[in-house]
């Protein structure tokens, strides 16, 4: 057993942003191995606080799930977005170097803002990013900051959904569609953005495995396959037996302040090769999440 694996199995793993979707699943999957951090206990934009708190905790690894994720608002407050998504990652990389432990930085498909030609292949880890918009640029800057840590792993993912505690109140695409549909509202969803929406539990489980086997570098971890948001919304409605009007619209019609990638499907071949199995497919993962969600809501509603 290597020294790193031995440390990971015996020392705590720092989960930054543990109150979020991915952080919550990591906390649950890691159990007693997790040492969780979130506001107000730790503000990762505070350099001195990051070093003081993490050096005292002495984790075997740092997993950064914290991020500024309001893509449209970022256009109006770039300083705040970059402080969280880039500068703070540099603080964590410095702490990881001091501790001689791995830093896992969670990144995004948005770093590929290029507009490819017809029938493009999925983006590979070796492809050159071309982020568009403040959010995407800040996440790419965060990747570069993480890569400066001596031991690093950048995990790019896409369209996360599934919260361990908030369940139906979480802010993600699946819950937004369900909230509107359950109120009987009609839906307008873009059909010209192709990606791989991913169940946060699946991504968290993959990160746990990647840590245990000491994978480094950049790796793409999403549910397998590709879809567009309109088709994904139709699948959500079908699986829940909801019938409301749904209209396909273009990104131009949606007219959001920030640009979105037209095609951001990530190639999962490296992960599949390392693990010997691909990630669960998009629609299987969605079915698994909706089944878990129904049970979680039933349990919550019947608890005294």
| Helix pair 47-57, 88-99: axis angle to 10 deg | 30
Beta bridge partners of 198: 160
Pick the catalytic residue: 110, 135, 230, 289? 135
> Cα(53)–Cα(188) distance, rounded to whole angstroms?
45
CA distances for 276 relative to 48, 104, 165, 204, 225, angstroms: 41, 21, 31, 18, 17
The side-by-side arrangement of strands in the sheet containing 13-16 is 34-37, 13-16, 61-64, 103-108, 152-157, 217-220
Nearest to 198 by CA among 253, 134, 271: 271
Q: Is 199 a catalytic residue?
A: no
Local structure of 263: helix, strand or coil: strand
Owner of token pair 């409301």: 244
Say which residues have a Cβ less than 8 Å from residue 18's Cβ, sequence separation at least 6. 24, 26, 27, 34, 36, 37, 38, 65
> Cα(121)–Cα(294) distance, rounded to whole angstroms?
35
Say which residues have a Cβ less than 8 Å from residue 45's Cβ, sequence separation at least 6. 83, 84, 87, 88, 91
Q: Which residues are catalytic?
A: 135
């Amino acid at each position: 057993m290597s020294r790193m694996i031995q440390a990971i199995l015996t020392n705590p793993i720092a989960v930054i942003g543990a109150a979020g979707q991915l952080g919550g699943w990591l906390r649950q999957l890691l159990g007693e191995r997790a040492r969780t951090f979130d506001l107000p206990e730790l503000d990762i934009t505070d350099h001195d606080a990051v070093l003081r708190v993490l050096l005292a905790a002495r984790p075997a690894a740092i997993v950064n799930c914290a991020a500024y994720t309001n893509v449209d608002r970022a256009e109006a407050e770039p300083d705040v977005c970059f402080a969280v998504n880039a500068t703070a990652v540099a603080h964590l990389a410095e702490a990881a170097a001091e501790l001689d432990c791995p830093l896992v930085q969670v990144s995004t498909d948005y770093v590929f803002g290029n507009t490819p030609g017809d029938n493009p292949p999925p983006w590979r880890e070796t492809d050159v990013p071309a982020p568009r918009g403040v959010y995407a640029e800040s996440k790419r800057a965060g990747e570069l900051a993480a890569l400066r840590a001596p031991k690093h792993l950048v995990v790019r993912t896409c369209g996360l959904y599934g919260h361990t505690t908030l369940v139906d109140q979480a802010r993600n695409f699946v819950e937004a569609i369900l909230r509107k549909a359950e109120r009987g509202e009609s839906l307008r969803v873009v059909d010209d953005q192709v990606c791989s929406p991913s169940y946060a539990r699946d991504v968290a489980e993959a990160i746990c495995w990647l840590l245990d086997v000491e994978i480094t570098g950049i790796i793409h971890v999403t549910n397998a396959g590709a879809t567009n948001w309109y088709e994904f919304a139709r699948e959500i409605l079908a699986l829940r037996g909801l019938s409301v009007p749904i209209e396909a619209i273009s990104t131009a019609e949606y007219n959001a302040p920030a640009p979105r990638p037209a095609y951001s499907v990530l190639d999962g071949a490296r992960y599949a090769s390392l693990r010997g199995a691909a990630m669960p497919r998009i629609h299987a993962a969605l079915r698994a999440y909706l089944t878990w969600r129904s049970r979680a809501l039933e349990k919550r509603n019947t608890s005294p």
